[in-house]
A = this chain, B = another copy of it.
Amino acid sequence: MEVTNRYITVKAHVEGEPTESDFEIKSSTISTSVQPGSNDIILKNLYVSIDPYQINRIKSHSASHTTSSFAVVITPGETIDAYGVARVVASGNPEFEKGDLVVGMITWGEYCVLKGEYMLRKLDPMGFPLSYHVGIFAFSGLTAYAGLFEVGKPKKGEKVFVSAASGSIGHLVGQYAKQFGCYVVGCAGSKEKVALLKEKLGFDDAFNYKEETDLKSALKRYFPDGIDVYFDNVGGEMLEAAVANMNIYGRIAACGVIAEYTGVGKRAAPDMLEIVYKRITIHGFLTSDYMNLYPDFLSATVDYLRTGAIQTLEDISSGVESIAPAFVGLFHGANTGKKIVKLADE
């Protein structure tokens, strides 16, 4: 039997801000059975993750291409791999069988055929929605957890600032920090997001950076006693402002640079004099270095969710047609929480 697979490709490398016209939907016909003797797996994709880091893979040159196995360059015209949840249609690998739910690296498409070495495991949903296994139980959650605790190294009572605080990672960072006993302020890009952070997610305070003319003064207002840990998702001017407001021995967990990915925003030029005299550490990190924390992270997170101590925000759209707009929207703050595209019913 054969099925039609519609999937997303990029027409050419994109160096600046992405637009929907940089992408196209292609179709192919794929067989729903595997060749005897191969270890191929054919999957029907259910949910895929839409992440800003993909922008770096779409560029023709990026520091990311050679330094992270998750960020190798994407060849225009080819499928784009991404994290997601799928159901096995057919499997030449005895570890998986038809009907299994799986999670791992799939594609931005309706189906995928995985060959050779693939990163996939069987999924036990543990009673949670499948989308949680693309977001909070996957890289977004582990990034928030590892970045906050292993890189930011907060102490109870310390002051934590999170940028892009209503984003896939930021909204979890703030909640983990609150549970740990920190004072947490987040910034986001709309009144509604700010209200969500304060009213639904328990942030001590939050502000709309778009309403601020001077980010340095804004942070001074929200942190009159200074910032101890800054979880940086954005880079740019916010990073400069945070450095100016850091306390002595402050730590910056540099997770993402969304303000700089597309070359539109100004590059951060933090005051090195502050960094030296205040003994500030800026520490870039990738979640793939902290996979050993996964069991602790998962156990803590499942408990928090079951007791209602933390909540996860998801922003789910449907259908392969929505992948490109969902991705482009990430760079305009269109999403609230984890951006996910649902491709099929369970």
Contact = CB atoms under 8 A, between A and B. Distances in A.
Interface of A: 56, 62-64, 67-68, 71, 235, 239, 248, 254-257, 260-261, 267-286, 289
Task: Give the 5 A-B CB pairs with smallest separation, nearest first.
Answer: A275-B284, A269-B269, A276-B284, A267-B269, A257-B272
Q: Is the interface of A mostly helix, strand, loop or mixed?
A: mixed
A239 B282 CA distance: 14
Contacts of A289: 279
Nearest to A252: B282
Contacts of A284: 272, 274-281
B273 A63 contact: yes
Contacts of A279: 283-286, 289
12 contacts: A63-B271, A63-B278, A67-B248, A67-B277, A254-B275, A268-B270, A268-B272, A272-B284, A274-B284, A275-B284, A279-B284, A282-B282
A257 B120 CA distance: 47
Contacts of A281: 281-284
A45 to B, nearest CB: 27
A272 B265 CA distance: 12
A60 to B, nearest CB: 14
Contacts of A267: 269, 271-272
A253 B46 CA distance: 46
B273 A261 contact: yes
Given A67-B248, A281-B281, A62 B273 contact: yes
A286 B282 contact: no
A64 B268 contact: no
Given A268-B269, A272-B260, A272-B268, A277 B239 contact: no
**Among the interface residues A64, A71, A284, which one has the most CB atoms of the partner chain B within 10 A?**
A284
B235 A272 contact: yes
Contacts of A261: 273
